[in-house]
Amino acid sequence: DASLAEAVLRELCGLLPPLGLHIRPYVDAMLDVAVAHLGGANPAIQAHCISLCEQLCGALGSELGGRVDILLPPLVRILRSDGSDTRMPTLRVLHALATMAPSLQHHAPLVVSELLWLAEYPHAPNRPRRRAIKLLRLLFSRLPLRQCAGRAAHTMLLLVADGQPAELKPAAFQCLHALSASLGSSTLPLDPMLSAA
């Protein structure tokens, strides 16, 4: 029953903040519930599932460990499958991914790839595109992502070019700056592209 599932998920989301790390024994069961309903057609249930994932990540931090493998695929799939006018599920996933950033580590290339796709996707509203760019900036400032640098620089340079939405350009420039700072002296191969910006 959808209304029961929604009520249970809402209650779980409300319980997580006060319980904190005391939820450890129940994490796997909660993740199973969230993952099972993330791809569903009910937007309210999906929103609670995304919130539950985000709160689990916030409560567990680096203890999330291998559970990221279970959680990421259905979350990032929403970025491409969300066809709503406001892209609210996408915005919620972006917020959850920002919370998960410290736990991503070797999963970050998958997330970066999907964020770059969203940033470039011309049919998405500018708000989620801008949020994706800001999340990319956060990831580049926190994680070593050299293998993604070339594609990211190319995408950001496309977004600062003439003809692109003006509201995306400041975020794209900031992302380029974070990318350049994260690479340090190894930006030499990208210097011609970056100086063009």
The torsion angle over the Cα atoms of residues 96, 101, 102 and 103, rounded to 10 degrees, is 70
The residue type at 54: E
Phi, psi of 124 (to 5 degrees): -85, 150
**pLDDT tens-digit readout, 21-75:** 788 888 888 888 888 888 877 888 888 888 888 888 877 777 777 788 888 899 9
Q: What are phi and psi of 65, to 5 degrees?
A: 50, -130
Amino acid, single-letter form, for residue 33 = V
The pLDDT-based confidence of 103 (bands split at 50, 70, 90) is confident
Kindly tell me the burial class for residue 15, based on how many C-beta atoms sit within 10 Å of its own C-beta (0-12, 13-18, 19 or more): middle
Extract the tokens encoding 21: 């790390």
Which range scores top for mean pLDDT: 11-20, 80-89, 171-180?
171-180
**CB half-sphere exposure, 40, CA atoms < 13 A:** 19
Among 83, 85, 111, 87, which residue's Cα sits nearest to residue 97?
Answer: 111
Q: By C-alpha distance, which of 20, 93, 19 is closest to 61?
A: 20
> Distances from the Cα of 81 to the Cαs of 38, 125, 175, 178, in angstroms?
11, 14, 25, 29
Residues 85/122, Cβ–Cβ less than 8 Å: no
- The pLDDT confidence band at residue 188, using thresholds 50, 70 and 90, is very low
Q: Work out the number of other CB atoms within 10 angstroms of the CB of residue 47.
A: 17
125-155 residue pLDDT tens? 999 999 999 999 999 888 878 888 889 999 9
